[in-house]
Amino acid sequence: MSESKKLWGGRFEGSTARSVERFTASVQYDSRLYKYDILGSKTHATMLADGGLLTKEELELILAGLTEIEAEIDAGTFEFKSELEDIHMNIEKSLVDRIGPAGAKLHSARSRNDQVALDTRMYLRDQCDILADLLEQIRRAFVVLARTYLGKIMPGYTHLQRAQPVLISHHMLAYYEMFGRDRQRLLDCRKRLNLSPLGCAALAGSGLPINREQVAEALGFDGVTANSIDSTGDRDFAIEFLSCCTIIQLHLSRLSEELVLWASQEFSFVNISDQFCTGSSIMPQKKNPDIPELIRGKSGRVTGSLMSMITLVKGLPLTYNRDLQEDKEPLFDTVDTVTASLAIMTELLANLEFQTERMEDATRTGYMTATDLADYLVLKNVPFREAHGIVGRAVAHCIERDCELVDLTLDDLKQFASVIEEDVFDVLRVEGSVNSRLSTGGTGLKRVEEALVQAEKIMGITQ
């Protein structure tokens, strides 16, 4: 049995079992929130003093005590106690031990329920900013790659089968778009979570003369939450944050999968720099793309965290339940995982080399301009479905003769459709195919160049 007196111990006769203390403690991971907790407490105390609930002297003592505690935690000399459960109690108890009765006044008009909601919102708000910044950096890496390889052609795939030739830059800018949406989603999530729950107290609000708006403003919130019952039980801001992170990690995993494929001997489309690969302990020739593999693998834990959080909230009655303490580890793990994945992937991209000849060669086989031939026929007034059939037969003919469409003579082609003329060879060549795709958002060089210039402008890159 623990001998230490609990801050909430008034109504208890017996002391808490050690096993219970161990089981209920969260300080081993929620200590990560200490800076937010201390800042929240200082702001709360200032508001209490302004409202006459603390004297000036008491406020000074509290502020100085909290500053001291923060410095100790910074320095690693603060002693965290699991019997004090969480970061909030550890800090408060230490304050009371240092400054006595003034410290015991800090918790007026506040509960750990609104306190933990406050800390978590402040923490996630910062993480949204950090991740948004990392997303800008990875987008920039794609823009740089798009500029470097402008004009170079690669096979575009559907069903992982060669489909139509595209520009490498177009493919790079696809990721620029994806991570751009991810960033918008995070900033949108930030907007919704940037409201202060402090002063909602346990669940019903406070009967003391407090000023929630003052606290919210001082802490940089856009305002206060509207309903104390909602605010103490709500974790949908955390679910939303994890959803945003999951989508980021899924995008990273798709990119990773492409890099793993492209780095294989079968593709040989990219060279991932030595610094970003590892070897095999048994096979001396191996150079493995472990970074994209790990990022791809880590999408499992990020998705898992989202599942944990969703399951945690499902069926939970209003308002606060201790279950909600389980929100932290999935959040922290996700933040660590997505942050690290984005950062290292950005570095890898900055050192990535495309094997452009090999990529272009890959577009020369696989009848990749078949759709262009069909479009050519459409322009000669052949209905598309009919054109599709004609080209299908021409492809079958090529398969039989083991050649490509562009290898057929005009006479060969005319056998399939008499409207075909000499100009057909412009569209049968991959360059012609790519450059004809001038629809908005298409892979034609002119369109991609416009998109690239626009992206560079947004990223503040000057050529």
116 binds ligand ARG (CB under 6 A): yes
Taking contact as CB under 6 A, which single stretch among the options 47-55, 97-105, 112-120, 398-406 is the one that binds ligand ARG? 112-120
Given 19, 159, 281, 439, which residue is catalytic?
A: 159
DSSP-assigned states of every residue in 370-435: HHHHHHHHHHTT--HHHHHHHHHHHHHHHHHHT--GGGS-HHHHHTT-TT--TTHHHHHSHHHHHH
Binders in 9-38 for ligand ARG, by CB under 6 A:
26, 30
Least distance CB 91 / ligand ARG (angstroms): 12
SS (H, E, C) 172-204: HHHHHHHHHHHHHHHHHHHHHHCCECCCCCCCC
* 325: contact with ligand ARG by CB under 6 A: yes
Stretch that binds ligand ARG, among 110-118, 252-260, 330-338, 419-427 (CB under 6 A): 110-118
* Smallest separation, CB 27 to ligand ARG (Å): 8
Whether 88 sits among the annotated catalytic residues: the reply is no
Among 4, 264, 273, 280, the one annotated catalytic:
280
Footprint of ligand ARG on 219-278 (CB under 6 A): none
Minimum distance from residue 45 beta carbon to ligand ARG (Å): 19
Joined together, the tokens standing for residue 382 give 């052949």
CA distance 44 to 295: 41
Note whether 445 binds ligand ARG by CB under 6 A: no
Q: What size, in residues, is the chain?
A: 463
Give the residue, chosen from 43, 90, 94, 113, that forms a contact with ligand ARG under the rule CB under 6 A: 113
Decide if 133 contacts 435 (C-beta within 8 A). no
Choose which of 86, 92, 234, 372 interacts with ligand ARG (CB under 6 A).
86
Least distance (Å) between residue 15 CB and ligand ARG: 17
**334 burial level (CB within 10 Å; 0-12, 13-18, 19+):** buried
How far apart (Å, rounded) are the C-alpha atoms in residues 335 and 367? 45
Stretch that binds ligand ARG, among 111-119, 142-150, 171-179, 310-318 (CB under 6 A): 111-119
**What radius of gyration do the chain's Cα atoms show?**
31
Judged by CB under 6 A, the residue of 112, 125, 140, 251 near ligand ARG is: 112
* Nearest in space to 195 (alpha carbons), one of 117, 78, 87: 117
* Residue 271 near residue 355, CB atoms below 8 Å: yes
| Cβ at position 88, least distance to ligand ARG in Å | 6
Q: Which two tokens stand for residue 406?
A: 């562009």
Q: Which is nearer to ligand ARG, 322 or 385 (CB)?
A: 322
Q: Do the beta carbons of residue 104 and residue 193 sit within 8 Å?
A: no
Does the protein bind ligand ARG through residue 296 (CB under 6 A)? no
What's the min distance (Å) between Cβ of 325 and ligand ARG? 4
94 labelled catalytic:
no
In the complex with ligand ARG, the residue whose CB is nearer, 29 or 425, is 29
Helices and strands, counts by H and E, the chain: 20, 4
Q: Which residues pair with 153 in a beta bridge?
A: 167
For residues 52-76, b (16+ Cβ closer than 10 Å) or e, as one string? ebbeeebbebbbebbeebbeebeee
Nearer to ligand ARG, 125 or 185 (CB): 125
Question: Minimum distance between the CB of residue 118 and ligand ARG, rounded to whole angstroms?
Answer: 11
Using the contact rule CB under 6 A, the part of the chain among 14-22, 91-99, 317-325, 346-354 near ligand ARG is 317-325
The sign of the dihedral angle between the CA atoms of 274, 278, 281, 284 is negative
Q: Which is nearer to ligand ARG, 331 or 455 (CB)?
A: 331
Which residues are tagged catalytic?
159, 280
Provide the binding-site residues for ligand ARG, judged by CB under 6 A: 26, 30, 86, 112-113, 116, 322, 324-325
